[in-house]
DNA sequence: TTGTACGCGTTATCAA
DNA sequence: TTGATAACGCGTACAA
């Protein structure tokens, strides 16, 4: 055991150990391992052999310090709410992972929750020089006091949320347009009265207005999608109150609450649109148990295109987000920023949703 | 702008900058920021003020290098298969995150997929000295050539899978016992013939036997749970062939295939158990469309306790894994190892599942 | 082509 | 209580 190790202490082998064993200088070892060109093939082989025998792996902290750069990307997630039927966050994360790992990057995940403590931790890391860039899958940039992540001088890209007003390149779905299409789909089937299950109204956690003077007034996805629905309704010549808006918060329970509301109405809408599949699924289950037939009595369409939606009864029509493409595009944008000069204008990439036709929509009964 | 900065170049401020501004030595700055005790309160305040004004944040690469340790934990995930109805991996991840972030750690996620390339990357990081420890949520330790993660000399804990035979402390559900309870539940209702939808038979990716001489012969969860079911059946005095085993791979499609099989049988079992909720959900949807009534004609019970299972029709009975507790326990174990001497025997923490009674089970029709 | 020497930013040791 | 200095391991400019 000890015979195999030329170093004395029990710590990991360093370039010095390899150099000693190969009978060369440390700089030669470094060259042999990183620069393919300027080195004699014989010594190169000698060094590689010594490194192999010692099980040498370069110390990343030292390398990062020396180079002033690392191959780690910080992914900022919006905290707990990514466990449900809709798994947009996880899916985007997989797309990002695929694209970045291929380029030799590692992913540091930071879960942005309600605790200011966490946010401070995130800023420490961002400003700690260990990060090559960051992808934010949250509605707001982490910030502490008056410093936001944008001030860290790091390449940043936003995914799912459009943060371009804050100077951050973003990759988003065509949320507004997509929900308009969902509305048009139902209008095309003949529906004229709607129940809309919303996302959250406020922003969590509540914040002071940012230095730019205007933070978003509400949840980005909720605002965009509801606006899209209203566009469709108005274009069809209907009044805004053709849509009843049931407040929600991106979960199953919101669907149950909306169902209770629906069941209590004297004049029930013939179609329901939800800001997220979870709520639509909660709605369907609840009204079905009350004897309402979907889609005979009421059509339902969700948003996100959850895979499990194919297995509810009836299968849930939905606007599918191309999460894999969103993830890949965000990664691509980040890599460009990392490689680039840093003074490009923020780009906005829009990835279209696609209508997933399943059994939950039909023409209204006359 | 420039007036606010005492340093000349545009890079981040260092201890030297803070020291210059505060009129003290760099070592004093370091002490003021890390050691609460041995420093005069006046100088301490002076240093803190200077640091604040400069927006100083310690460079983590330099600190890690100097200390030979970091506050980053690597989480190894089993690649893509964590997007479905069952979200055990994501849920455990949340539990881990909660527990570790509270202690000031960051999470580096490494997605173990089919590519050997990735595995090598993981080993590079583990051996690169930037990692304080690792939590593995996969059936095997990453390995490259003859070196596995266990040889990195790092604290390691496994979650969801019992890797204690490989010397790794593990936190797992009582998979075998839980599935036996599921079987007993159905037996108690009067069922005597079963269809079991299995998990994958082999291990992905297929591997050479490890140096220890015996790798697992199949998927850990599949083996444990199926064994538990057989225990229940045998204890009830029934022969093994009271259970038909339909091959699967932890997805909706496996449930569809099992349903096709079920529908083609002359003598249909009266109860179905699935190794994972996804397959159970696929099964229910498919047989329901073929006119079979659940639970009147066939009872179904899943595994994992997915939240969406409450909203299928009928609601899916399931053995719920206490994923939050598994995550927290794994984190706790890892922290103990990081703080400890490193020569404790591997511990195995078993977290019991709990039966989620929903509408999908009932006594068999006579 | 290879070796010597330095510095990245931090913390710990030692002396004042 | 504070300051000067060395060292962590690596990559590179410069000299040989």
Using CA atoms, how far apart are residues B80 and B286, in angstroms rounded to an integer?
Answer: 25
Q: Assign B75 to helix, strand or coil.
A: strand
Nearest-by-Cβ selection for A252 from B84, B128, B311: B311
Confidence (pLDDT) at A204: 44
Q: From the CA of A239 to the C1' of D9: give the distance in Å.
A: 70
Residue of B nearest to A65 (CA): B61
A125 vs A116, higher pLDDT: A125
Using CA atoms, how far apart are residues B89 and B140, in angstroms rounded to an integer?
Answer: 15
Subunit contact B128:A59, Cβ cutoff 8 A: yes
* Residue A314 confidence (pLDDT) above 50: yes
Using CA atoms, how far apart are residues A322 and A318, in angstroms rounded to an integer?
Answer: 12
Strand D reaches within 7 A of the B40 CB: yes
Using CA atoms, how far apart are residues A51 and B54, in angstroms rounded to an integer?
Answer: 42
Subunit contact A313:B288, Cβ cutoff 8 A: yes
Is A299 in contact with A343 (CB distance < 8 Å)? no
Ordered per-residue pLDDT tens for chain B, 366 residues: 322 333 344 689 999 999 999 999 999 999 999 987 778 999 999 999 999 999 999 999 999 999 999 999 999 998 766 788 999 999 999 999 999 999 999 999 998 876 778 888 999 999 998 899 999 999 889 988 888 899 888 999 999 999 999 999 999 999 999 999 999 999 999 999 999 999 998 654 444 444 443 455 688 999 999 999 999 999 999 999 999 999 999 999 999 999 999 999 999 999 999 999 999 999 999 999 999 999 999 999 999 999 999 999 999 999 999 999 999 999 999 999 998 877 778 999 999 999 999 999 999 997
3-state helix, strand, coil in chain B (%, to 5): 45, 15, 40
| Rg, C-alpha atoms of chain A | 27
Question: Nearest protein residue to D4's C1' (by CA)?
Answer: B25
How far apart are the CA of A59 and the nearest CA of chain B, in angstroms? 5
Q: Which residues of A touch B57 (CB under 8 A)?
A: 123-124, 127-128
Using CA atoms, how far apart are residues A177 and A187, in angstroms rounded to an integer?
Answer: 15
Confidence (pLDDT) at B343: 74
Confidence (pLDDT) at A205: 42
Subunit contact B72:A108, Cβ cutoff 8 A: yes
Confidence (pLDDT) at B35: 82
Nucleic acid strand C: bases within 7 A of protein CB:
1-5, 7-13
Six-digit token string for B51: 């640091």
User: Would an 8 Å CB–CB cutoff place B84 in contact with chain A?
Assistant: yes
Confidence (pLDDT) at A114: 65
Q: Tell me the sheet residues that pair with B356.
A: B318
Q: Which residues of B touch A313 (CB under 8 A)?
A: 285, 288, 312-313
Confidence (pLDDT) at B80: 67
User: Mean pLDDT, to the nearest integer, of A45-61?
Assistant: 95
User: Would an 8 Å CB–CB cutoff place B290 in contact with chain A?
Assistant: no
Peptide bond into B314 cis (omega under 30): yes
Q: Tell me the sheet residues that pair with A245.
A: A196
Residue of A nearest to B58 (CA): A128
User: Would an 8 Å CB–CB cutoff place A327 in contact with chain B?
Assistant: no
How far apart are the CA of B274 and the nearest CA of chain A, in angstroms? 16
Is B133 in contact with B156 (CB distance < 8 Å)? yes
Longest dimension (CA), chain B: 90
B152 vs A56, higher pLDDT: A56
Using CA atoms, how far apart are residues A308 and B86, in angstroms rounded to an integer?
Answer: 10
Confidence (pLDDT) at B116: 75
Using CA atoms, how far apart are residues B301 and B317, in angstroms rounded to an integer?
Answer: 5
**Which letter does DSSP use for residue B346 in this model?**
P
Q: Assign A24 to helix, strand or coil.
A: coil
* Residue A77 confidence (pLDDT) above 70: yes
Ramachandran area for residue A213 (φ above 0: left; ψ -120 to 50: alpha; else beta) = left
Residues 21-40, chain A, CB closer than 7 Å to nucleic strand D: 26-27, 30-31, 33-35
Subunit contact B130:A61, Cβ cutoff 8 A: yes
Mutate to test the interface with B, among A75, A311, A312 (most CBs of B within 10 A): A311
Six-digit token string for B184: 């007993």
Per-chain mean pLDDT for chain A = 90
Pairs across A and B, CB distance < 8 A: 157
Q: Tell me the sheet residues that pair with A107.
A: A73, B109
Q: From the CA of B36 to the C1' of C14: give the distance in Å.
A: 20
Lowest average pLDDT, out of A45-59, A149-163, B9-23, goes to B9-23
Q: Which residues make Cβ contacts (< 8 Å) with residue A43, sequence separation at least 6?
A: A22, A24, A28, A32
Subunit contact A129:B61, Cβ cutoff 8 A: yes
Residue of A nearest to B97 (CA): A111
Categorize the per-residue pLDDT at A209 as very low, low, confident or very high, splitting at 50, 70 and 90: very low
Q: Which residues of B touch A121 (CB under 8 A)?
A: 101, 104, 106
Peptide bond into B295 cis (omega under 30): yes
Categorize the per-residue pLDDT at A151 as very low, low, confident or very high, splitting at 50, 70 and 90: confident
- From residue B10, give the alpha-carbon distance in Å to each of A73, A153, B2, B57, B235: 22, 10, 10, 15, 74
The pLDDT tens digits of the residues spanning A235-292 come to: 999 999 999 999 999 999 999 999 999 999 999 999 999 999 999 999 999 999 999 9
Q: Which residue has the tokens 């391992």?
A: A33
Six-digit token string for A187: 């209008």
Question: What count of other Cβ atoms lies within 10 Å of the Cβ of residue B179?
Answer: 28
Strand D reaches within 7 A of the A63 CB: yes
Q: Which residue has the tokens 């202690």?
A: B103
Strand D reaches within 7 A of the B42 CB: yes
- Continuous segment of H or E residues that includes residue A64: helix A60-67
């Amino acid at each position: 055991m000890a015979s195999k190790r030329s170093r004395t202490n029990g710590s990991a082998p360093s370039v010095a150990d390899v150099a000693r064993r190969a009978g060369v200088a440390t700089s030669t070892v470094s060259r042999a391992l990183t620069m393919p060109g300027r080195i004699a093939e014989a010594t190169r082989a000698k060094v590689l052999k010594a490194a192999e025998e010692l099980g040498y792996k370069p110390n990343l902290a030292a390398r990062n310090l020396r180079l002033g750069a690392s191959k780690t990307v910080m992914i900022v997630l919006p905290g707990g709410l990514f466990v449900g039927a809709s798994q947009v966050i996880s899916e985007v994360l997989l797309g990002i992972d695929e694209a970045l790992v291929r380029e030799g990057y590692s992913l540091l995940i930071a879960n942005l929750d309600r605790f200011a403590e966490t946010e401070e931790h995130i800023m420490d890391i961002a400003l700690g020089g260990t990060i090559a860039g960051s992808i934010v899958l949250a509605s707001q940039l982490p910030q502490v006091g008056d410093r936001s992540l944008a001030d860290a001088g790091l390449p940043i890209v936003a995914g799912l949320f459009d943060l371009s007003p804050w100077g951050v390149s973003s990759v988003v779905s065509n949320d507004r347009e997509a929900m308009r299409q969902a509305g048009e789909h139902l209008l095309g089937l003949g529906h004229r009265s709607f129940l809309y299950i919303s996302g959250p109204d406020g922003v969590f956690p509540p914040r002071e207005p940012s230095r730019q003077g205007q933070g978003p007034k509400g949840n980005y996805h909720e605002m965009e999608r509801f606006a899209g629905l209203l566009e469709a309704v108005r274009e069809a010549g209907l009044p805004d109150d053709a849509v009843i808006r049931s407040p929600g918060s991106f979960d199953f329970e919101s669907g149950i609450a909306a169902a209770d509301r629906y069941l209590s109405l004297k004049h029930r809408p013939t179609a329901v649109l939800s800001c997220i599949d979870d709520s639509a699924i909660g709605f369907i289950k609840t009204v079905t148990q009350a004897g309402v037939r979907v889609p005979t009595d009421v059509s339902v369409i969700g948003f996100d295109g959850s895979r499990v939606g194919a297995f509810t009864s009836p299968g849930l029509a939905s606007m599918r987000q191309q999460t894999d493409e969103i993830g890949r595009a965000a990664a691509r944008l980040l890599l460009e920023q990392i490689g680039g000069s840093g003074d490009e204008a923020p780009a906005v990439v829009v990835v279209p949703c696609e209508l997933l036709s399943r059994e939950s929509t039909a023409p209204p009964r006359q």
